[in-house]
Amino acid sequence: MTQPSDWLLDHLDVTRRYFLQMGAAGLAAVRTSALWADSAEADAVLQQAIAELEYLTPMDRFRMVGRGNPPPHKLPPEKLREVGLHRDTWQMEVIADPESDAKLENPLSKQRGTALDWPALMKLAEKHAVRYLKVMSCTNVAKPLGMGLWEGVPLREVIWLARPTANVRRVFYYGYHNDDPKQRFQSSLTMSRVLEDPPDRPPVLLCYKLNGQWLSPVAGGPVRILVPEAYGNKSVKWIQRVVLTNNFQANDTYAGWNNDTESPLKTHARFLHVPKQIRTGQPIAITGVAQVGMSGLSKVQYWLHPQDAPLPPNDPYFTQADWKDAKILPPPKQWGGGLPEGKLPPVPRQIDAKTGRPTRWPLRYTWVHWAALLTDVPPGRYELRCRTIDANGIAQPMPRPLPKTGRNEIHRVRLVVKS
């Protein structure tokens, strides 16, 4: 196995210092926890958990969900160039919906020779480029897919080039899917969301970089949509066409698959590292990640419960359980993700230009790491759960526990303490 890189050691050091602040028990946890074992001795599962402590996820370790048969990113290089999935050949149209009465004075279309191409997008980027931090999650996958620093041009800047004048209420968009309508994955937003950003939200982007690198084909390159507050189904990859329409209804593929496509990111916690087995008397070091959704984050909590003991009756979300507060870790000094020296470039809104530190912490629509130390746990078999309390004081999985609106069930793992 490879040795941990500098960014990993830096972030592990943040976690280590948290445990050391706990005194003698924390020191013992550092010495006994496999979190800080030599990587040659760590098993593959633990090594993966440690790797995920990097704040920004390198592009090659992002879990990318691609659709199509074959998925566009698996096309050979010459085919990618032929179908416009290379920076040299990429074009994007902005047209009026032929099935509505939307009016545009200057449609951007291949037929007219006015479609947006890569040089034109880069020209816009000279004046309008935006970067922001965002976690990527899938509506129906419990674990976030990765955390990135994304860069692009606000979609509204391109829409204004098409000069819409009337009867535009919604923006439909889709990417390349083998020229087969049955494989098309599409999504939509209200025109108002594209044109104006709520106070806590960055703009919807035509995104071309992740962690300072050009988007790879598997990441949706050369250009994808990025919607900061939304699940991944809104951030369509391989974008090639934007359609402005007077149709007020969503046309999202995910809507046809029985999902709530308008559900913004939820706040929830998951474990990263919990030892499966430990001896009595040893302190137990646990770490995790929390996704910060629309309602923010105030606390991460954990609950250790004997496996054979009855659960609280008539309390499906364990609101009466003996929850304990974990420690939300501060922003890292080294952000990772392949950034030069692990340092963030200038980021509007989220990062203070003078200090280079976040303007607030945690940041909405990102993730944070957390840690906790369990001591004096008697021998036995246990279930360990974690949850979040959002900035409104509401405990996970409320206020939106329903399926198909984003996974946020309470995460549970098992732990054995041997005598």
Beta partners for residue 412, in sequence order? 385
Q: Take residue 338 and report the two structure tokens written for it.
A: 């392949």
Largest distance between two CA atoms of the chain: 77
Q: How far is CA 182 from CA 74, 80, 224, 412, in A?
A: 18, 20, 20, 38
Q: Could you report the per-residue pLDDT of 194-218, keeping only the tens digit for each?
A: 999 998 899 999 999 999 999 999 9
Q: Domains along the chain?
A: 6-51+266-418 (2.60.40.650), 62-256 (3.90.420.10)
**Model pTM above 0.85:** yes
Q: Which residue has the higher pLDDT, 59 or 302?
A: 302
Model pLDDT, residue 237: 96
The pair of structure tokens assigned to 137 is 């999650």
Please report the beta strands in 341-402, taking only residues with DSSP state E, as ranges in sequence order: 367-374, 380-389
Amino acid at 212: G
Each residue's pLDDT tens digit, 263-313:
999 999 999 888 889 898 888 889 899 999 999 999 999 999 999 999 989
Q: What is the pLDDT of residue 63?
A: 87
| Tens digit of each residue's pLDDT (9 = 90 or more) over 382-392 | 999 999 999 99
Check residue 30 and give its pLDDT: 63
Give all strands (DSSP E) within 192-344, no chain letters. 205-210, 213-214, 224-226, 239-245, 268-273, 277-279, 284-291, 299-306, 324-325, 327-328
Lowest mean per-residue pLDDT among 50-59, 238-247, 326-335? 50-59
Token digits for 219? Answer: 């990441």
Tell me, what amino acid is at 343?
A: K
Assign 3 a pLDDT band (cuts: 50, 70, 90). very low
Computed over every residue of the chain, the mean pLDDT equals: 89
